[in-house]
Amino acid sequence: MRSVAVMRAVVCGAIAAGALAGCGESVDGSAGATTTVRDLDTIEVFNPCRGALSDEVLTSVGLDPATKGVLTDPPTGVSSWRVCNWIPLDDRYGSGRRTVGVFSTSHTLTEAREKESAVVVRETTVNSRTALVSKEKDDPDACYVSFEAEQGMFEVRTSWLSSEGPRVGDLCEMSEKYAAALEPHLPK
């Protein structure tokens, strides 16, 4: 799982990149370098943890609402990450002990592509949204599908919960299928 430390590293990296790039201004009619710096602490991200994904939606995509686990969901104020996960109800996309997480963030697909700890498996689409499939270098038991949103992006992660019992199916294919099923229920 992605730890809070990793999330903080991404935020710090984005802020540092913005500071290094600087803001452009025109001097004697010549254009300077311009960079749009997004204030991640002011973007209100969709909250998958507090009912925005109804029990009916979760059940329809094959997730058990009663198994919700909260990874990060601050009780008040804005947050650059809101993350919850659920256990699948059935084996429609694979079998074995696994969890499916929905990551809602103000970070962007570009940041996900450039993240040093990630390996991009392939570029893809989730329904009509630009997306990518990736894995973390230090976590072979998880796969992420990240897709664009006005707020930044959403990520759907499928990961094995234990090494015990059968593991049937490809985690990346599972993540893609869950992402496609969840996407219509997430803000553009």
Residue the block writes with tokens 């700890």: 117
Distance between CA 43 and CA 79 in Å, rounded?
A: 8
pLDDT value of residue 23: 31
The 10 Å Cβ neighbour count of residue 114 is 14
> Residue 178: pLDDT above 50?
yes
Q: How far apart are the first and last CA of the chain?
A: 25
pLDDT value of residue 38: 57
pLDDT value of residue 51: 87
Q: May I ask the CATH architecture of the domain 41-185?
A: 3-Layer(aba) Sandwich (3.40)
> Residue 154: pLDDT above 60?
yes
Distance between CA 100 and CA 58 in Å, rounded?
A: 11
The average pLDDT across 113-130 equals 97
Which of 20, 16, 21 is closest to 35 using CA atoms? 21
The average pLDDT across 94-106 equals 96
CA distances, 32 to each of 20, 28, 36, 38 (Å): 14, 10, 13, 19
pLDDT band at 164 (very low <50, low <70, confident <90, very high): confident
Q: Are 68 and 84 in contact (CB under 8 A)?
A: yes
Going from N- to C-terminal start, the domains of the chain cover 41-185
> Residue 35: pLDDT above 70?
no
Q: Are 23 and 36 in contact (CB under 8 A)?
A: no
pLDDT value of residue 37: 52
The one-letter code for the residue type at 28 is: D
Residue the block writes with tokens 């084996």: 91
Tens digit of each residue's pLDDT (9 = 90 or more) over 10-19: 333 333 333 3
> Residue 27: pLDDT above 70?
no
Average pLDDT, the chain: 83
Region for residue 12 given its phi and psi (left: phi exceeds 0; alpha: psi -120 to 50; beta: otherwise) = alpha
The average pLDDT across 155-182 equals 94
